[in-house]
Amino acid sequence: MSVLVNKDSKVIVQGFTGKEGSFHAEQMIAYGTNVVGGVTPGKGGQSHLEKPVFNTVKDAVDATGADVSILFVPPAFAADSIMEAADAGIKVIVCITEGIPVADMVKAKPYAVKRGVTLIGPNCPGVITADEAKVGIMPGFVFKKGNIGIVSKSGTLTYEAADQICKAGMGITTAIGIGGDPIIGTTTKEAVALLMNDPETHGIVMIGEIGGQLEAEAGQWIKAHGTKPVVGFIAGETAPAGRTMGHAGAIVGGAEDTAQAKKAILRDCGVHVVDSPADIGSKMAELFSK
């Protein structure tokens, strides 16, 4: 078991022949991900990285039975590509692209949701199920197989957490990078719920940051439905109000979306919150040594 992607996932790459798409598709294939082809409009019929290229997602799905798509499409065209994949029947869409206009995501997200699609991202590192499938841009070697799931808004902080977990003698089931934009497909709560319901996952690391209400919402859900220990970290305690900190969604608008407020809510909900990101691995190890 695992969530979202596994060794049987048939993955296509949208924006396959571009620089980013090519580089990461190659890395994904090297990891062992079952990449069955890619889409670049106008290059259908060609072959790239020894995989077929299609003009449309529909063509790719018809020919390969693909059920997962990863997007490396430039921001101006990314929302359109999300909707194309949803329309073609792709079940899990992972959008790596950073910089998509909010107005585009306001339309693309409900379009995907209405078609029963699980959208991950945008502006995320993707999803990895250790030793099975890497559908993202993360360094695969950091994620050793184990029983801890990770949900995170941040890329490098996900790698940091995975590294600490592995160095503490544990390992990873699936790590889900949900993304740092104001509108993202799969929320913190939804990602945590997936891992909570995965029998192979025994504990969850949840990494959030300033801005929005996703962590608080996840906390309430954990309080009501949680069955496994959750270690939480919220980045940005020292971030000033009203300034965007790198991620488009990382901005303190009011008292309730500060790191302090989120940590307090998570603690109330029974999440094991660490104040230092250096303590994520040791905290999880401590919970399992009891």
Partner 1 sequence: MNLHEYQGKDILASYGVRVQRGKVASSPEEAVEAAKAMTEETGTQWYVVKAQVHAGGRGKGGGVKLAKNLEEVKARATDIIGMQLVTPQTSKEGKKVHQVLIAEDVYYPGESETEEYYMSILLDRAAGRNMIMYSPEGGMDIEAVAEHSPEKIFTESIDPSVGLQDFQARRIAFNLGLSGVAFKEMVVFVKSLMAAYQGIDASLFEINPVLKTSDNKIMAVDAKVALDGNGLFRHPELAALRDFREEDPTEVKADQAGLNFVKLDGNVGCMVNGAGLAMATMDIIKMAGGNPANFLDVGGTANAERVEKAFRIILEDRNVKAILVNIFGGIVRCDRVAQGIVDAYASIGEIPVPIIVRLQGTNAAEAKKLIDESGLKVYSAIQLKEAADLVKELVG
> Which residues form the interface with partner 1 (CB under 8 A)?
27, 75-76, 99-103, 105-107, 109-110, 137-139, 141-142, 152-160, 163-164, 180, 182-183, 207, 209-213, 217, 233, 235-240, 243-250, 259, 275-278
Q: In the structure encoding, which two tokens stand for residue 78, read together?
A: 């990314």
Using the minimum distance from each CB to partner 1, give the nearer residue, 69 or 158.
158
Report whether 217 contacts 187 (CB < 8 A): yes
CB of residue 44 to partner 1, shortest distance in Å = 27
CB atoms within 10 A of CB 171: 16
Question: Buried (b) or exposed (e) across 252-289, using 16+ Cβ within 10 A?
Answer: beeeebbbebbbebbeebebbbbeeeebbbbbbbeeee
Using the minimum distance from each CB to partner 1, give the nearer residue, 54 or 159.
159
Annotated active-site residue in 24, 48, 202, 247:
247
Distance CA 138, CA 128 (A): 8
Using the minimum distance from each CB to partner 1, give the nearer residue, 63 or 102.
102
Sheet holding 92-95, edge to edge: 47-48, 51-54, 35-39, 11-14, 68-71, 92-95, 118-120
Amino acid letter, 148:
I
Residue 195: which residues within 8 A CB-CB, separation 6 or more? 3, 149, 151, 173, 174, 176, 201, 204, 228
CB of residue 45 to partner 1, shortest distance in Å = 30
Using the minimum distance from each CB to partner 1, give the nearer residue, 61 or 239.
239
Using the minimum distance from each CB to partner 1, give the nearer residue, 36 or 218.
218
Sheet holding 272-273, edge to edge: 133-136, 126-129, 172-177, 145-152, 203-209, 230-235, 272-273
CB of residue 125 to partner 1, shortest distance in Å = 9
CB of residue 29 to partner 1, shortest distance in Å = 15
Using the minimum distance from each CB to partner 1, give the nearer residue, 61 or 205.
205
* Closest-CA residue to 180 (of 160, 158, 204, 164): 158
CB of residue 46 to partner 1, shortest distance in Å = 26
Report whether 255 contacts 213 (CB < 8 A): no
Distance CA 175, CA 123 (A): 15
Q: In the structure encoding, which two tokens stand for residue 219, read together?
A: 């906390």
Distances 71 to 109, 137, 152, 163, 213 between C-alpha atoms, Å:
15, 11, 19, 26, 26
Let me know if 225 is a catalytic residue. no
Among all residues, which ones are annotated catalytic? Answer: 247
